[in-house]
Amino acid sequence: MATQIVIGNKSYIRIDDSFHIDWDDKGKNWVDAWLPDTIHHLIWNDLQGQNEIQNKDPSTGNMTGNTDLNATSDAVGSTTIADLLTWGEARKLQIEQAQLDHDEAYATWAAADDGTSWTKTWVDYDSNHS
């Protein structure tokens, strides 16, 4: 399971401070209710500073305050930090496997040298992409 997750709602997800997921690549197992529009950022990591939910008014985009997070059982939207960490690790592994599958298919295509153009990306090999 991942130990760190930072989410910029509708922007990006960072797993273990090293693996970046674009919002569009969060995959089909993401549940929108996990992060309602009232959440701007979620921070759960071991870097200096408070682990927290940064809240906003969705109609104005203005910050409305922070909610401290102290345990992986703490609620975030309709889920918990622990569930987001489990999801994050699974999604990271899915993306890494799709990237490997893409690279293998590309190598096979390149070796065939049949004059066609390669247009696929790793997303074409990710059955969990939405």
Question: To the nearest whole number, what is the mean pLDDT of the chain?
Answer: 96
Distance CA 117, CA 109 (A): 9
pLDDT tens digit string along 22-77? 999 999 999 999 999 999 999 999 888 899 999 999 999 999 999 999 999 999 99
Are 15 and 2 in contact by the 8 Å Cβ rule? The answer is yes
Predicted TM-score (pTM) above 0.85 = yes
Neighbours of 13 (CB within 10 A): 24
